[in-house]
Every structure is written in structure tokens, then in C-alpha cells.
């Protein structure tokens, strides 16, 4: 129970500080809304169905960009980590593109794909792909060579080495990388939706700001943070699976 009690307690303290500060006039007028105003805005958005629609739109874009990015990044990372020549040829460029903020690609995404879901999904793909490639390659390169010698003695060669030896061995590191990447993707989707689309939680925030509805802005921020916590908890549960916890330590 303490696992849930302490977050609830600290959340209640933060809420009380917010409420007291608002009542004392600590915030400039029209900047920070009161907790009751945010609660009322939240109920209005739920009743209208807009909040649910925007949440589904954001999750849809994150799912597409994230899944496609992971599906392409993991095999490439395995090959890079297993082959020294491939690693020397590609790793500098993986690091180069990983260092670029995905937000910097938004103008190109709009030019190439127009307005709508495709540019946002493209930005999320970039936010995921290079991170996972780097993490997978680094983990693959750290697998002890004795495992590959044993695999060769057992007649395991080619793609089977990557699928049956390398991938299970790096699974703990890979799950951690996936957990970090989903957090980054969830942050990036908000920025992408502020520019490239007309729906989603990011658009909700920018639209509310333009209308000076700061209560809706805070409402959107709270929903984004809550979903981020849920996503992180879901990926944290993956680390409890016995096959994931195996790695090459055992």
C-alpha cells in the first residue's frame, strides 16, 4: 500500500500548495488557473468527448511511429552490434542523426507529407528509430564471444545467431531502451501536434493557449503526464518477465 500511499500523499500536498498559492494571489492574473477551474474544464472536455478523441489521436500516432521505429531499429541494431565493419561504417551516422532533435524535422515532415497524421508519425519514427538502433547495437556488441563460439559448435549460423543468441542475451538492456524511447516519443508527439496536425493533446494545448483558456492548458498537461506514467509502468512490467530478465548474466 505504501507504494500508492506516498504518491497520493505527495500529490495532495502539491495540490494544496497550488490551491493556497492561487488563493493568496501568488500568480499573475490569468496565468495559473485554480484547481476547481481545471477540474471543471476537465469535466467539460470529458462530457463533450473532445478529450477522449484527442487522447486516442495522440496514442494512435505514437503507436504507429513507435512500432515502426522499433521494428526497423532492432534488426539494424543487431546487425551493427554483431558486425565490426558495419558498426564502423554506420555508427557515426546513427550518432549524428540521433543528436538531431526530432522537432527540427517538423518543417521537412510538413513539406514531404503535408498536414495530418503522416508528418507527426514521421517525427515520432525519427524520435524512436535512432535511439533504439544505438541502444541495440551497444548491447549486442557487449555479448560475450563465448556464446557465439558455442552457437557455432552447435551449428547455429546466420540470422539464427541474432534471433536465438544475441536478442535473448540483450533483452534486459533492450527493454530498458524501449522504456526510455516510449517516454521520448510521448513527449515529442505533443510538440509535433502543436504544429503539424489539428487534433491530439498537443493541439488541445496550443488551441487552448490561443483562446487564453489556461484551465484547458493545465488539463491537457495533467492528462499527458498521467498517460506518460501509465506507459512507463506498462513497460516497467516487461522487466518482470522471466525470459526478459535472463540476459547473458546467467
**134: its cell numbers:** 544505438
| pLDDT > 80? residue 156 | no
Q: How confident is the model at residue 248 (pLDDT cuts 50, 70, 90)?
A: very low
Q: How confident is the model at residue 247 (pLDDT cuts 50, 70, 90)?
A: low
188-205 pLDDT, tens digit each: 888 888 776 788 888 899
Superfamily name with CATH number, domain 33-246: MetI-like (1.10.3720.10)
| pLDDT > 80? residue 164 | no
Q: What does the pLDDT read at residue 75?
A: 92
Cα-Cα end-to-end distance for the chain:
32
Tell me if residue 240 falls in helix, strand or coil.
coil
How many CB atoms lie under 10 A from the CB of residue 237? Answer: 11
Percent of the chain topping pLDDT 90: 30
* Mean pLDDT calculated for residue range 41-45: 91
| pLDDT > 60? residue 249 | no
Amino acid at each position: 500500500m505504501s507504494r500508492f500511499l506516498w504518491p497520493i500523499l505527495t500529490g495532495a500536498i502539491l495540490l494544496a500548495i497550488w490551491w493556497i498559492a492561487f488563493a493568496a494571489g501568488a500568480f499573475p492574473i490569468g496565468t495559473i488557473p485554480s484547481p476547481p477551474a481545471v477540474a471543471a474544464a476537465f469535466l467539460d472536455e470529458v462530457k463533450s468527448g473532445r478529450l477522449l478523441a484527442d487522447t486516442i489521436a495522440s496514442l494512435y500516432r505514437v503507436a504507429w511511429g513507435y512500432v515502426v521505429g522499433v521494428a526497423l531499429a532492432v534488426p539494424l541494431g543487431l546487425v551493427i552490434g554483431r558486425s565490426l565493419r558495419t558498426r564502423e561504417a554506420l555508427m557515426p551516422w546513427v550518432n549524428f542523426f540521433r543528436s538531431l532533435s526530432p522537432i527540427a524535422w517538423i518543417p521537412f515532415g510538413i513539406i514531404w507529407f503535408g498536414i495530418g497524421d503522416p508528418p507527426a508519425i514521421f517525427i515520432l519514427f525519427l524520435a524512436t528509430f535512432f535511439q533504439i538502433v544505438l541502444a541495440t547495437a551497444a548491447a549486442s556488441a557487449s555479448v560475450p564471444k563465448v556464446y557465439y563460439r558455442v552457437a557455432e559448435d552447435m551449428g547455429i549460423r546466420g540470422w539464427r545467431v541474432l534471433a536465438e543468441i544475441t536478442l535473448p542475451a540483450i533483452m534486459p538492456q533492450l527493454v530498458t531502451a524501449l522504456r526510455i524511447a516510449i517516454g521520448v516519443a510521448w513527449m515529442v508527439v505533443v510538440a509535433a501536434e502543436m504544429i503539424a496536425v489539428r487534433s491530439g493533446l498537443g493541439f488541445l494545448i496550443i488551441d487552448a493557449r490561443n483562446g487564453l483558456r489556461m484551465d484547458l492548458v493545465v488539463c491537457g498537461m495533467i492528462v499527458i503526464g498521467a498517460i506518460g506514467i501509465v506507459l512507463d509502468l506498462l513497460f516497467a512490467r516487461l522487466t518482470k518477465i522471466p525470459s526478459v530478465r535472463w540476459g547473458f548474466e546467467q
